[in-house]
Amino acid sequence: MLNSKAQGFPIKLVSLIGSVFLLLFGIFVVCLPLIGNYYVSTEFSTNVLTQDIWSTRVVSAPECMAFEDDLGRVHPGLIDLSKINQVNNCIGRTTYLSLSDLYGNNEDLNSIDSPSDDTYTSRFLIRYITDSSDTNIKTGILEVGFN
């Protein structure tokens, strides 16, 4: 027969393990919301999405820079550089434009504005003409940004 000290040890061990478990569970319940709020954000910034929508409008809307032929058909992605001065009116915002050919040579656009440090820019691979009577279609990279 075991003495009374030997019979009390398993009860103390179970009690100690239960206490440690409750303590860790309590710490977990208190700290989980703090950690969760740090890693999971319910706020959503739509600035980049808005900039992408405006940039796409610049290259695909006939009111902006998209080429419109004599029949009234719009060719999105084919840019008419003679329309460069109406970009700000089309968008209603100050716009930064930069065009370079595939070899990295910059075209003179008389850029409407220079980019600031917080200007988000989108780049598009486009085809372009210098005016609506031009039949020489060139390929380049158009960078569109908004301040």
**147 residues of the chain, pLDDT tens digit each:** 455 555 667 788 888 898 999 988 888 888 777 766 666 666 666 777 788 888 888 888 888 888 888 888 988 878 888 888 787 778 777 777 888 877 777 776 655 556 666 667 788 888 888 776 767 888 888 888 776
Beta strands in 33-147 (DSSP E): 66-68, 74-80, 95-101, 120-129, 138-146
Tell me if 90 sits within 8 A of 64, measured CB to CB: yes
Report the 10 Å Cβ neighbour count for 81: 21
Strand pairing category for 74-80 and 120-129:
parallel
